[in-house]
Homo-oligomer: A and B are copies of this chain.
Amino acid sequence: MKKDTTTVRELSRDEARLAAMLKALGNPVRFRMMKYLAERPMCITGDMVVFTALAQSTVSQHLKVLREAGLIEGEIEGPATCYCIHAEGLQFLKDRIQQWLPECCQPEADDREANCCQETS
């Protein structure tokens, strides 16, 4: 008998990357940092410190999380570090979210009464 791998299967490489991105964006501070960074071509750590009104070490930590999730990239620019959106990473996020859970959300006109969850709203 074939083992059911649909339930216990681990996340694929891409799914793990998507999950990591979602985790990074799950924090409200980092969410706002991404939004802030998206509104300009780049910024340095100090700008983020002013924007978030958090300690410099805290901001540096958050930037590290975003960078390791592949959402931003930093480049040392003299004494400062210049951050910008990682375009490829963000595109990956958008694509994957769009493709994610494709089986659902289709208002197919099949035996809906067999399901217990109708849209009530």
Contact = CB atoms under 8 A, between A and B. Distances in A.
A67 to B, nearest CB: 12
A120 B87 CA distance: 11
Nearest to A44: B116
Nearest to A116: B82
A14 interface: no
A42 B97 contact: no
Contacts of A77: 116
Interface of A: 6-8, 11, 15, 19, 22-28, 31-32, 34-36, 38-39, 41-42, 50-51, 73-75, 77, 82-85, 87-88, 90-91, 93-94, 97-98, 100-101, 103-105, 107, 114-117, 119-121
Given A84-B117, A85-B105, A97-B98, 5 more contacts: A23-B26, A38-B101, A73-B117, A84-B115, A94-B100
